[in-house]
Chains A and B, each alone.
Chain A
């Protein structure tokens, strides 16, 4: 009852598309066509090359940053610390050096002054006025202190040198106008700046003022400039480090070998602007301009702040060790960074290409799986529709059979004499014939429904390959053109194998359809051969058509690959065949040459020969127990 009620609906649904497709032997294309567009869209979105490129870029960037940042930070801090401490060390060293030299020079000056003081205090002025005594004292001093003392002289208040011992002819020399003399008169003892004086060579004077008979006398000694200069000149460091002494006016008291600081302001003011250490040493830097190097300087006041000892050195020279080690460290850091970046690039490139490979493999697999599962779902749907169709067909067949037979019965009765004379006999006969014809039409429809139902069956059954081949060849021969002949050459040794008859039929039909397509233009023949080959059943579908270009051979099993014009093929046929054969544990291969034809070989594993025996044995045992 339910079958009959549902009848019109189901019939309408099926007859529209499915039945038509069934008649063409390509019913599967009908449901896969609808899936095509969706899958193609999937595929397009899978072209992820730019994604992988930016992924690599981002990863390399990230890891580079993560690995370089701490390295750069640490090395930066270390370098900075090193820089600072090296600076401090250099400054401390120079500070110490300058301090010592200052002390040395101060003590040298003090000693010379003390020498003269001592001389002035130990000897009577009268005696000293005696030039021979003076000469002797000078000799003694020169003996004790080398060539430091150049000469000795005594000058009266009027500025006349009244006694002299030394190499120059300075007897009765007039010093009244000399600046040093006037300053010396005002102080109990005095050390002059360096000056040329009467002898026209640089020297300076150490003098002591003494009261002698109510009048002041000056005992003065000339200090050899060279001896003094060497004290300062000893302070030489590196290539450009040197020292010199300036007086209050900024005049050089020594002979520096290099240029002094290139400044226009008062030297002392400039120097005093620098920072001052605990030992009273000023230090600072002068930024070089136009071709000049940066310069560091240290300065110390000496001789009761009359003089200033300046040490100066080019910065690059002073810190040359630092610069060198900084360059080395920088190179190491750069090299390290370069290596890290390089390794990142290589590693991530490799890793990402691996990932990409895996992704594409997975996508391909997913695509196949997806396709298979869609196919299975659709097959399942169709199977249930098919079962319904089968039920309906059966339900309809019986009433139609009764109708046809009843009509036949009327026909039988019409043979009787009484009806033969009837006016409407011909009309009766025509109507009955029509009932018969329409009954046959119903039968055709139900038969198609039933065959559709059978085709949707993907259950594993034992399949007689040869029978199936002959069946398919017979169907194909009906649809094929006259110019194409399809022949089957079955091998009778092939036993039945396990598989879905529907799906195998689908595979065969598909291969034959492809061959038909290849032969469409020029005609030809298609041979379907079966052969027993070891533990495999070999099915060969061979045509002598146009063949497949070599470039396409690798791709013909790919989903959606088709050479047919748009709308003619969806490119799924062979990929479905491939899936079906693989599912059955078999394999499908293709050989083709242009203009000589194409050959598809399918190998299907035979059913386990033990299975038939195990099927029989329980029966035998049961009969055995029965007895």
Chain B
């Protein structure tokens, strides 16, 4: 009961993982402004590290990072903390990789550059899914 009350007050914890620093920064600013608790990571390893410390609600994951393949990161995410919903946000639009991502438990797939409102809508849908 208390927990439920808490979640409404509690900020939603978002994990951003993308090797495009500027992109992460601007998203961080925009999402923080909308009352999300955003953690910025700039590589696959960093993202995994961050997940070890915190249980995030939603992760926004790039598929192509310099150190690791996004799909690999996704698999590890799912092993580490399954309740976290992962939204793939990639510049490398491909139905094939999207399907692969969905197969490995991603929540949804968006391609860069994406509409910010669409991203927000997807995040809220992911939260609903997580709580379901």
Contact = CB atoms under 8 A, between A and B. Distances in A.
B19 to A, nearest CB: 9
Interface string A379-422: 00000000000100110011011111110110010000000000
Contact of A405 (B64, B91, B111, B113): B113
Contacts of B23: 398, 401-402, 405
A315 to B, nearest CB: 104
Interface in B91-119: 91-95, 111-116
B53 interface: no
Contact of A397 (B26, B30, B113, B115): B113
B62 to A, nearest CB: 9
B30 A412 contact: yes
B25 to A, nearest CB: 9
Contact of B30 (A400, A409, A439, A454): A409
A401 B113 contact: yes
A438 to B, nearest CB: 10
A402 to B, nearest CB: 5
B22 A447 contact: no
Given A439-B113, A440-B113, A454-B94, A398 B20 contact: yes
A450 B113 contact: no
A248 interface: no
Contacts of B94: 450, 454
Most chain-B Cβ atoms within 10 A of its Cβ — which of A402, A403, A405, A443? A405
A600 to B, nearest CB: 26
Interface in A553-589: none
Interface in B52-66: 64
Range of interface residues on chain A? 20 to 34
B79 interface: no
B71 to A, nearest CB: 16
Contact of B112 (A390, A401, A408, A454): A401
Interface of B is mostly: mixed
A623 to B, nearest CB: 16
B29 interface: yes
A405 B20 contact: no
Most chain-B Cβ atoms within 10 A of its Cβ — which of A401, A404, A408, A440? A401
Given A402-B23, A406-B26, A394 B91 contact: yes
Interface string B115-128: 11000000000000
B109 to A, nearest CB: 14
A188 to B, nearest CB: 145
Given A394-B91, A405-B30, A412-B33, A400 B64 contact: no
A404 B113 contact: yes
B27 interface: yes
A505 to B, nearest CB: 12
B89 to A, nearest CB: 8
A405 B116 contact: yes
A398 B63 CA distance: 12
B93 A447 contact: yes
Most chain-B Cβ atoms within 10 A of its Cβ — which of A393, A394, A398? A398
Nearest to B117: A408
A400 B112 contact: yes
A340 interface: no
Nearest to B95: A454
Contacts of A447: 93, 111
Interface string A432-468: 0000000110110011001000100000000000000
Contact of B26 (A400, A409, A439): A409
Contacts of A440: 113, 115
A406 B26 CA distance: 6
Interface in B30-51: 30, 33
Contacts of B27: 405
Contacts of B22: 402, 406
A400 B92 contact: no
Nearest to A408: B116
B93 A408 contact: no
A439 B112 CA distance: 10
B93 A400 contact: no
A2 B56 CA distance: 37
Given A397-B113, A442-B113, A408 B30 contact: yes
B29 A397 contact: no
B86 to A, nearest CB: 18
Contacts of A400: 112-113
A563 to B, nearest CB: 35
Contacts of B112: 397-398, 400-401, 443
A287 B64 CA distance: 116
Contact of A401 (B29, B33, B64, B114): B114
A401 B16 CA distance: 15
B26 A402 contact: yes
A401 B64 CA distance: 15
Interface in B7-33: 20, 22-23, 26-27, 29-30, 33
Contacts of B30: 405, 408-409, 412
A390 B116 CA distance: 24
A400 B23 CA distance: 10
A398 B27 CA distance: 13
B123 to A, nearest CB: 15
Nearest to A405: B26
Most chain-A Cβ atoms within 10 A of its Cβ — which of B93, B113, B114? B113
B91 A397 contact: yes
Nearest to A457: B96
A397 B91 CA distance: 5
Most chain-A Cβ atoms within 10 A of its Cβ — which of B23, B26, B33, B92? B26
A400 B64 CA distance: 16
Contacts of A443: 111-113
A602 B35 CA distance: 56
A413 B26 CA distance: 12
A55 B102 CA distance: 68
12 contacts: A393-B91, A397-B111, A397-B113, A398-B91, A401-B20, A402-B20, A402-B23, A405-B23, A405-B27, A405-B116, A409-B26, A409-B29
Given A398-B91, A400-B113, A440-B115, 5 more contacts: A390-B92, A401-B23, A401-B91, A405-B26, A454-B94
